[in-house]
Structure 1
Amino acid sequence: MLLPDVDTVFSSSGPIPTLGLSTAEVAQCIEWLKGAVRQRAYDAEHEADLAAYLEADGFDGTDLQAILLATEEPLSEKDIGEAIAEVALQAREGAIWPTNRRRDMRSVRASLPGADIVGFVPGLDGKYRFLLAEVKTSSDRKTPPSIMYGDKGLEYQLYALALDTNILRRLLKYLFVRVKGTPQFELWRHALRELAIDLESGKKLVGVLVRDTQPAAADLSHHAELLGKKLGGKGDVSLLALYIGIPAKDWPLHCTPY
């Protein structure tokens, strides 16, 4: 199950469209956290490939195999929230992720520069563009949550992602290194052409707010209005709120490394 049943709890059009989705069915949420979200959060496919290689190449039963396949530390609510956003964008937008952010982390608590999520997304015309997204997870009962404000807030980071060419350059190079020599290099080439045609609309930017609170359009509406004014209606930028029907403190109980 890539995405459990969801209800659209609010939506708006305008320069910065907003969408709120709620996954209220607890049993489905638990299954989702144990399945698709865990697979993404812990890079389970990569771990399985490594285990198969070690067994096939004669490392079975060795101390080195035990070290490499040792159980990882449980991830934080923030990390699980990012995996939730990735899986949701994959299900809703057809997003393709060429790598997993865990492969770039040298420690479990590392923080990577640039956008939280980078990949590719198909347009209505079938042409692929770069997808750049910022993700924030919050249990704050305030509406909007405090994580939306300040220079580390979702609004400002999405604004910087839209306009800062230094960030864009680093992200394009980051993707180039990871897709070079793979079938996904063609997606990078097509997306680069779209970006060359129009630096603003040639990429898709999404700000994702992951919550375990009651849905509220006000979580996004104020900041969508401010961001729209700052960007002057330029580019393809949107805000998405995901309301998960399980308290965030319980996510690590279901989304486990084993």
Structure 2
Amino acid sequence: MIAVGAECYSHGTLPCTGMGRLWNEKELDAAINGPVSALVFDNRGKADIQELLAEVVGTAFEQEQLAQVLAAPDDVEDWRIGEAIAEAYLTEHRDCLFPWPDGRDERKSGSSLPGADLVGIQQDEQGDRFVFGEVKTSGEAKYPPGAVYGRTGLKQQLEDLRDKRGIRDDLFKYLGHRAKNAIWRDRFKAASKRYLNNPSDVQLFGVLVRDVEPNIDDLRVRVEKLGNGCPMGTQVELLALYLPTGTIGNLAAQALATQAGGSA
């Protein structure tokens, strides 16, 4: 279960809005022990591989080897947990579908891939449209945190998604290459029709996962700046999810514990 969280603040009007939400410890635990860990360790993808190989993995040795290949890693980065929190939240509370975990595209475990953190489809009052999101996880006691700035900061990433059609086109193709035989193919086709009629008809999300006291200054300036000159059809939402103070450093251990059958 993914809690909506208590509202801390809201700011701005369309096309760009911002909101802060606060989770308590119980809500964080429920998320980590449920959808978040399932996303981090791609439980659905592992089940698909097991189903695919069911007829060829017959001996105990082969079963043991497959289990070893699919086993959870010994370590996982905090930012991966943050991305999974954001994905689970947007799926539950913003009608989003992110059908292809980017971890499946890694040629080496732990590598960082180019492109948006979250790529998918969102249902709004007009039907399906593409949704792209960027996520930053930070416990820095600064508002906003340093992760907002710089060449790979949230500010630049969202401006690029808003202003550069080439980036959005690449993400469109990224999904298209995976949609042909997928159960979400029809939703991709519907979103594609909207995109091809207006390449700015997309939803953008910028998510900050924090474990400090809530403060509107995390989002205030960016909401105002991103709304200026926003292309017709583009909507942007900035969302700060505030976890209990000081918990980011323990997210990885807590998630790994779920794979061992325990809890942190």
TM-score by length of 1: 0.91
1:136-147 alignment runs, 5 A limit: 136-147=136-147
| Conservation of the 8 A alpha-carbon contact between 2:12 and 2:224 | no
Aligned to 1:13: 12
Deviates more, 1:45-54 or 1:5-14: 45-54
| Conservation of the 8 A alpha-carbon contact between 1:54 and 1:65 | no
**Cα 1:16–1:138 shift into 2, 3 Å:** same
Task: Provide the aligned C-alpha RMSD in A.
Answer: 1.9
- Can you list the C-alpha shifts for 1:41-87, whole angstroms capped at 9, x where unaligned? 11011113333444543344225324423332321110110000000
Aligned to 2:133: 133
Q: CA separation in 1, counterparts of 2:93 and 2:55?
A: 37
- Can you list the C-alpha shifts for 1:123-154, whole angstroms capped at 9, x where unaligned? 123x1000001111111100111111122111
**Cα 1:101–1:60 shift into 2, 3 Å:** farther
1:48-197 alignment runs, 5 A limit: 48-62=47-61, 64-125=65-126, 127-197=127-197
Aligned to 1:245: 244
| 1:232 Cα offset (Å) | 6.9
Identical amino acids, percent of aligned pairs: 30
Q: CA separation in 1, counterparts of 2:19 and 2:145?
A: 16
Aligned to 1:216: 215
Q: CA separation in 1, counterparts of 2:165 and 2:27?
A: 41
> Which structure 1 residue ranges, 4+ long, deviate > 6 Å from structure 2?
none
Partner SS for 1:10: strand
1:235 alignment partner AA = T
1:96 alignment partner AA = L
| Conservation of the 8 A alpha-carbon contact between 1:98 and 1:178 | no
| Conservation of the 8 A alpha-carbon contact between 2:206 and 2:238 | yes
1:250 alignment partner AA = N
| 1:227 Cα offset (Å) | 2.1
**Cα 1:233–1:51 shift into 2, 3 Å:** closer
Identify unmatched segments of 5+ residues in structure 2: 260-264
| 1:5 Cα offset (Å) | 5.2
Deviates more, 1:156-165 or 1:190-199: 190-199
| Conservation of the 8 A alpha-carbon contact between 1:54 and 1:60 | no
| Conservation of the 8 A alpha-carbon contact between 2:79 and 2:137 | yes
Equivalenced residues, count: 254
Identify unmatched segments of 5+ residues in structure 1: none
- Can you list the C-alpha shifts for 1:99-121, whole angstroms capped at 9, x where unaligned? 11111112222111111100000
Q: CA separation in 2, counterparts of 1:23 and 1:43?
A: 24
| Conservation of the 8 A alpha-carbon contact between 1:51 and 1:69 | no
TM-score by length of 2: 0.89
**Cα 1:48–1:182 shift into 2, 3 Å:** closer
| 1:199 Cα offset (Å) | 2.2
Aligned to 2:36: 37
**Cα 1:21–1:195 shift into 2, 3 Å:** same
Q: CA separation in 1, counterparts of 2:66 and 2:182?
A: 27
